A and B are shown apart, each in its own frame.
Chain A
């Protein structure tokens, strides 16, 4: 159980174009989803937290107009990188939290496999 998928797994795009990445919780409903970015040889950095049906909360230094997040349902969140530039090339990872029924176990975050974005 607690499987999270991401699509696509890898994408190459031209500078100036927009790219959409999907994150789905396959076997549970996720009230909260998180988006992270990881540059080579670095740790994961949280970009934003999204709750179903409400606006995402962005971390300091993350441009909300550049990284559009939509969490339209309890099983799907999308991250759109608008007007991508080479410096946006990175490994983007989402996670989903069950958040049901209280207790420590229900709050565990489960991660997707990641999407590697390369902007030429």
Chain B
């Protein structure tokens, strides 16, 4: 799986949009971009994933650049409960045995 690069930490204000960048310049054509987050002492929570089109669900939006070498996770209205470590992962999809390789992630602190 392609490696990803994320900033180690970032702060954002409660109520504002949080934009989390991820670089995956070596991504292959059959690799999807997945985002998970881990709140302290809990298991990771699935947020969203995409291949090349922008995606939106009830939690967040995922914007993938046209060349697919980077993406941005957008939390539209950050709350204090969004404080967590956010992981951007790229992986091949098609067989359930494909692994998730977690990097360091971005530690997001939402401040009042």
Contact = CB atoms under 8 A, between A and B. Distances in A.
Interface in B40-61: 41-46, 49, 51
A4 B105 CA distance: 23
A109 B46 contact: yes
Q: How large is the interface on B (under 10, 10 to 19, 20 to 34, 35 or more residues)?
A: 20 to 34
A104 B42 contact: no
Among B45, B51, B95, B97, the one with the most A-chain Cβ atoms within 10 Å of its Cβ is: B97
Contacts, number: 64
Contacts of A107: 93-96, 98
A109 B49 contact: no
A27 to B, nearest CB: 14
B77 interface: no
B26 interface: no
A46 interface: yes
Nearest to A102: B94
A49 B42 contact: no
A109 B100 contact: yes
Interface in A85-120: 91, 93, 95, 97-99, 102, 104, 107-114, 116
Nearest to A107: B93
A113 B43 CA distance: 4
